[in-house]
C-alpha cells in the first residue's frame, strides 16, 4: 500500500517531548515524519529478529541446540578479541605530575 494514512495514537509524554526536540533541532521535518521514521525502524527491527529466529532454528535443527555454555564461551571469545575504541577519561589517565600537590 502506498500513500499516507491518518493515525491517532496515545504516546508517552517523554516520547512526545523527544519528538518535539528532534523537530526543534532540525533532526526531523515534523512530528509525523519522526513517528513515521520510528515505526519504520521498529518494523525493520522486528523483521530482522524474525529472520534471526528462523536462522537459529534452522541451525539448531541441523547441529543441535546451542547451550548456555556455548553462548558463554562465545561471549568470552568476543570480549577477549574486542578493541576498546572509547577515549580515555580524565580518571583513566595516569597522573601527569602537574597540578595540585606537584612541587
For 6-17, give the secondary structure using H, E and C.
CCCCCCCHHHHH
Other Cβ atoms within 10 Å of 24 Cβ, number: 9
Q: Per the confidence metrics, is the pTM higher than 0.75?
A: no
pLDDT tens for the chain, 103 residues long, are 688 899 999 999 999 999 999 999 999 999 999 999 999 999 999 999 999 999 999 999 999 999 999 999 999 999 999 998 887 776 666 666 555 554 4
Amino acid at each position: 500500500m502506498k500513500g499516507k494514512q491518518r493515525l491517532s495514537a496515545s504516546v508517552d509524554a517523554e516520547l512526545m517531548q523527544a519528538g518535539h526536540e528532534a523537530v526543534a533541532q532540525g533532526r526531523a521535518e515534523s512530528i509525523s515524519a519522526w513517528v513515521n521514521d520510528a515505526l519504520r525502524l521498529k518494523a525493520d527491527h522486528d523483521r530482522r529478529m524474525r529472520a534471526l529466529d528462523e536462522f537459529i532454528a534452522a541451525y539448531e535443527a541441523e547441529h543441535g541446540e546451542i547451550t548456555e555454555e556455548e553462548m558463554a564461551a562465545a561471549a568470552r571469545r568476543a570480549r577477549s578479541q574486542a578493541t576498546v575504541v572509547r577515549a580515555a577519561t580524565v580518571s583513566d589517565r595516569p597522573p601527569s605530575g602537574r597540578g595540585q600537590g606537584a612541587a
